Structures are given as C-alpha cells and as structure tokens.
C-alpha cells in the first residue's frame, strides 16, 4: 500500500512552489501513485480504467515490463551525450524508426519533446525555403514555445506577444465546419492565405491529421492531398505533427497522415515513442510483438460502434468520431444548433471518475471527450467504459 504524501499535502505544495498555470482535471484532483498497463491506482489503492493515457505518453501500457527493463538496463550502463561519442542505441533506434516511415522519410533527428520537434521542423522549413511564412490550421495544437505557440491556433493556448509569421487556415472540421466533409473546398482557403497574405511563396504547412487537443477532429477527406499540392507549388515544406495520432494509435495505419494518401516532407513525434520516458526503443518492439496496431483497430472500431449506439440513446451526444483508439465524443445541448455542452461534459467526466473510468476532455469549447487509452485496451474495457458513460448520462 501507498504511504507517501496525500492529495491535500501535494495540493498545498503545488500552490506554494509550482506555477499556477499548471492545471488538473476534476473537482477533487486525483493523486495517481501506480500504473499497470491500462489501469491507474490512486493513493487509496482505488483502480481506474485509463482511457486517456495516450495523450500523456503511453502507447503500450503503463509500466510495460519490457519497456521498464530496457530503461533500467540502459540506465545501469550509460546515460551521456549522443553528440560527442558513438553509441549503437541511437543508431539502431533511428534505423528501426525509419523502417516504419514511407517514402523518403529516412533521416531521424531526436529532440526531447513534441514542442521541440515542431520548433525544429518549422525552423528547417524556413531555412530550407528561405521563407518565414508558415501556415497552420485553426484549432491546432503544436506546442508552447515561441515558434510553436505561433502555430498553435486556440486562444486559450496563446499569448498575443507571440505570433511569428504563422497564418491560420480554415479548419476542415467535418462536424462544425462550413463545408462539412468537403476537404478540397477548405483547401481553397490555404491558397487564399498564400495569395493574399504572403509574397506567393511559403516556408511550410504544419498539421495534425487528427487534431488531438482540438477535440479529436480528423481533417476532412481530400483536404490534405489538395493542400500538399498547393504548398508544393508555393515552394513550401509539409510537416505532419504525429505527436498524438502516430505510433499505431489509429489502428488502420501506423501514422495518421497515411489515411489521407499523402507523404509529408517532415514527420514530428513525441510522447508515444517512449511510453512516458523521453525516448525508449523497446516500445516499437512491443507494438509489433503484441500486435498493438491491430488491437487499436479492432477494439477502437468496436468502441466507436458502441458509442454510436449510445448516441442514439442520449440526446447530449452530438458527434462520435475518430479512428482506432483516438476517439472523440462531442456533447451538445441542442443537436441542431450544436450548442456546446461544456458544464455537462465536466460533470459527466467527474461522475465517470467516481465510477473508475478516466477520460480526457478537449476541443475549443471544452465539450469533447477525448478517448485515447493505452493501446493494450480490451473489448471488456470498452464495454466497461460504455456502461459507465451510459449511467453518468442517464443521471444527467
């Protein structure tokens, strides 16, 4: 049993020593002290089904024994600069990662976070093209350093002192967007931004094939092929941000962009690589050995189907969407007007926590459940999540 500091003491220390900008979910925040595959445990030993771990880090499950073993083994041997001296581990992992990517995407550069990866990608696009203008999509999240905050396009994640030459294109949002699922129609806005906001040339275009923080929104079909063409013509570089949609999560493909039939020039990734540690090459092996991509496809498709049945029962569910184990459930108080049900989302999420299931929340209006569990999630876990969500919604 856990006998460390408890919630009240941690909260007190956070208030005293940590930036108040750090946020947490739930009315009474959870003190998570242990993790095992798709489960989390709080200070009292209460078990929670983690249907959101994918966002923070976890691809193959909390504390997966093979990943833990690889970390311990390497930590016992050597941790040092990868620039000054040779070591086989970084070369081996670069080779393994390159083998998972299509086309000419064969050169790897390692950074410490998704933010850094996107900062580097945008800087490379600018250096290569000699052009400062970058285009990103409204409602995007690409990080919180100066360059990436420019690319991020949600007011709550931005400071106005930081814009950095990024133009924000119309979001090809299939639920709320003005052109519905007509991808090429939205793509015209990218051409407009180039024609009317730049000299006619751009450094690049950065996108999430499925927006994560933005509320699990898969870009409308046909959008990316059209935009890739437009950007190429304007001399720019296409950057796919796979921080959330990569690493087998979508089930149908290993990378989110693959579902759109495009091959970007640069792919950025983060959390999923290391299962929570900045980097770790045991994860790729586990994903393959345990067929986690296939599991994401089978369990994810099943869960989406069950959520759609739940939508037929509960008026509050406006939209169910996603791919594999990257799923969004958008709550509205009026299906016609699509009025965001922000308070209801928070309330249901809290109720679900009480019944032992943790889901995430996001979207511009804070009314979208983000379901991105570790990829070892089972059909039984999916059934449990559905039952709990059903009960919470019935009591609304």
Which residue of 212, 222, 236, 374 would you call a contact of ligand PMP, by CB under 6 A? 212
Q: Sketch the per residue contact string, 142 through 161, with ligand PMP: x for CB under 6 A, - otherwise.
A: xx------------------
Q: Sketch the per residue contact string, 253 through 292, with ligand PMP: x for CB under 6 A, - otherwise.
A: -----------------xx---------------------
Q: Please say which residue, 115 or 275, places its beta carbon nearer to ligand PMP.
A: 115
Considering only the stretches 40-48, 208-216, 272-280, 373-381, report the one whose residues sit in contact with ligand PMP under the rule CB under 6 A: 208-216
Q: Please say which residue, 148 or 174, places its beta carbon nearer to ligand PMP.
A: 148
Tell me the C-alpha distance between 175 and 147, whole Å: 29
Q: Which of 138, 257, 264 is nearest to 190 (CA)?
A: 138
Which residue of 43, 173, 208, 258 would you call a contact of ligand PMP, by CB under 6 A? 208
Residues 224-253 that bind ligand PMP (CB under 6 A): 241, 243-244
From the CB of 116, what's the least distance to ligand PMP, in Å? 7
∠ Cα 40 306 353 (to 5°): 30
Tell me the C-alpha distance between 361 and 342, whole Å: 10
From the CB of 307, what's the least distance to ligand PMP, in Å? 22
Q: Sketch the per residue contact string, 23 through 42, with ligand PMP: x for CB under 6 A, - otherwise.
A: --------------------
Strand, helix or coil for residue 37: strand
Cβ-in-10-Å burial (0-12, 13-18, 19+) of 9 comes to exposed
Q: 118 to each of 52, 144, 344, how far by Cα in Å? A: 23, 10, 34
From the CB of 23, what's the least distance to ligand PMP, in Å? 13
From the CB of 272, what's the least distance to ligand PMP, in Å? 10
Tell me the C-alpha distance between 190 and 145, whole Å: 24
Q: Please say which residue, 53 or 393, places its beta carbon nearer to ligand PMP.
A: 53
From the CB of 243, what's the least distance to ligand PMP, in Å? 4
From the CB of 211, what's the least distance to ligand PMP, in Å? 7
From the CB of 144, what's the least distance to ligand PMP, in Å? 7
Q: Please say which residue, 179 or 255, places its beta carbon nearer to ligand PMP.
A: 255
Does residue 307 contact residue 316 with C-beta atoms inside 8 Å?
A: no
Q: Using the rule CB under 6 A, is 372 a contact of ligand PMP? A: no
Beta strands 166-169 and 237-241 are unpaired
- The footprint of ligand PMP on this chain (CB under 6 A) covers a number of residues equal to 15
Residues 64-123 that bind ligand PMP (CB under 6 A): 113-115, 118
42 token code pair = 């709080």
Q: Please say which residue, 268 or 295, places its beta carbon nearer to ligand PMP.
A: 268
Tell me the C-alpha distance between 162 and 144, whole Å: 10
> What are the backbone dihedrals phi and psi of residue 157, each rounded to the nearest 5 degrees, phi first?
-105, 15
Q: In this structure, what is the dihedral angle of CA atoms 126, 130, 132, 138, given to the nearest 10 degrees?
A: -50
Does residue 143 contact residue 134 with C-beta atoms inside 8 Å?
A: no
Strand, helix or coil for residue 212: coil
Q: Using the rule CB under 6 A, is 322 a contact of ligand PMP? A: no
Q: Which residues pair with 35 in a beta bridge?
A: 40
Sign of CA pseudo-dihedral 146, 150, 154, 156: positive
**What secondary structure does DSSP assign to 218-285, as a single string?**
EPPTTHHHHHHHHHHHTT-EEEEE-TTTTTTTTSS-SSGGGGGT---SEEE--GGGTTTSS--THHHH
Q: Please say which residue, 143 or 177, places its beta carbon nearer to ligand PMP.
A: 143
Q: Using the rule CB under 6 A, is 215 a contact of ligand PMP? A: no
From the CB of 365, what's the least distance to ligand PMP, in Å? 18
Residue nearest to ligand PMP (CB): 114
Q: Using the rule CB under 6 A, is 198 a contact of ligand PMP? A: no
Q: Please say which residue, 210 or 310, places its beta carbon nearer to ligand PMP.
A: 210
Q: Which residues in this chain contact ligand PMP in the complex, by CB under 6 A?
A: 113-115, 118, 141-143, 208, 212-213, 241, 243-244, 270-271
């Amino acid at each position: 049993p856990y006998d460390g500091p408890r919630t009240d003491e941690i909260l007190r220390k956070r208030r005293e020593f940590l930036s108040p900008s750090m946020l947490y979910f739930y009315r009474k925040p959870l003190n998570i002290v242990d993790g095992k595959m798709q489960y989390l445990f709080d200070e009292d030993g209460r078990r929670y089904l983690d249907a959101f771990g994918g966002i923070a880090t976890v691809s193959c499950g909390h504390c997966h024994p093979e990943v833990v073993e690889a970390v311990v083994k390497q930590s016992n041997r050597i941790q040092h600069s990868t620039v000054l001296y040779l070591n086989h581990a970084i070369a081996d992992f670069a080779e393994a990662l390159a083998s998972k990517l299509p086309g000419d995407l064969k050169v790897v550069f390692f950074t410490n976070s998704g933010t850094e990866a996107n900062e580097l990608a945008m800087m490379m696009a600018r250096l290569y093209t000699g052009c400062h203008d970058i285009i990103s999509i409204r409602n995007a999240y690409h990080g919180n350093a100066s360059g990436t905050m420019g690319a991020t396009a949600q007011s709550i994640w931005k400071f106005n002192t930081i814009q950095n030459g990024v133009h924000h294109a119309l979001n090809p949002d299939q639920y709320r967007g003005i052109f519905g699922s007509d991808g090429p129609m939205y793509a015209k806005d990218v051409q407009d931004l180039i024609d009317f906001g730049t000299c006619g040339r751009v450094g690049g275009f950065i996108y999430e094939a499925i927006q994560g923080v933005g509320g699990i929104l898969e870009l409308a079909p046909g959008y990316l092929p059209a935009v890739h063409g437009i950007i190429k013509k304007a001399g720019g570089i296409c950057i796919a941000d796979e921080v959330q949609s990569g690493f087998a999560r979508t089930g149908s493909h290993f990378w989110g962009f693959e579902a759109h039939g495009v091959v970007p020039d640069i792919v950025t990734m983060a959390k999923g690589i290391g299962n929570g540690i900045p980097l770790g090459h045991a994860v790729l092996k586990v994903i393959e050995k345990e067929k986690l991509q296939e599991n994401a496809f089978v369990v994810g498709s099943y869960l989406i189907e069950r959520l759609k049945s739940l939508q037929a029962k509960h008026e509050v569910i406006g939209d169910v969407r996603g791919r594999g184990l990257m799923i969004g459930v958008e709550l509205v108080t009026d299906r016609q007007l699509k009025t965001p049900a922000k308070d209801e989302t928070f309330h249901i999420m809290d109720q679900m926590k009480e019944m032992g299931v943790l889901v995430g929340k996001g979207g511009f209006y804070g009314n979208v459940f983000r379901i991105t569990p570790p990829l070892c999630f089972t059909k039984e876990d999916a059934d449990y999540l559905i039952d709990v969500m059903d009960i919470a919604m019935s009591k609304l």
